[in-house]
Amino acid sequence: MTTPEKQPEPSVTRLPEGKMPVLRVMPGPPDANVYGDVFGGWIMAQVDIAGSLPATRRANGRVATIAVNSFLFKHPVFVGDLLSFYAEIVKVGSTSITVYVEVYAERNRLQTNVVKVTEATLTYVATGPDRKPRQLPPIESLIGH
């Protein structure tokens, strides 16, 4: 039986054009296992933070994560990778906001090697001071904020 040759990591070579990351962070040794691979839970927490940023803006206030609809680890993340998180709202309900998040790692920054490492879709619900769901404000009321 022959084993397939290991394929090189697909390199995007650049970050998405025309988009600004909502979050950029570099994991350090405490964020990784003894082999230098960053914990999936750490990445999930960062994705949740990144996704909450546009959701909070759209809700004009507090939001809570109510669902992780999908989460795909495409490639490992290593200590020293510079991660860029891109988040965009893909669906809005009466109280909920669904956000798609993509994560790119800049590796070997001298050679500008960029790899898409993670993508996820999360749903947030707008909450009031009582931490119960509340209606989202009309989009018109957010213009200029």
Q: pLDDT band for position 144 (50/70/90)? A: low
pLDDT of residue 85: 98
- Please indicate whether residue 12 or residue 2 has the higher confidence score (pLDDT): 12
Architecture of domain 23-137: Roll (3.10)
Q: pLDDT band for position 14 (50/70/90)? A: confident
pLDDT of residue 2: 53
| Boundaries of every domain in the chain | 23-137
pLDDT per residue as tens digits for the range 80-126: 999 999 999 999 999 999 999 999 999 876 667 899 999 999 999 99
pTM above 0.85, yes or no: yes
pLDDT per residue as tens digits for the range 34-79: 998 999 999 999 999 999 999 999 999 999 999 999 999 999 999 9
Burial of 134 (0-12, 13-18, 19+ CB in 10 A): middle
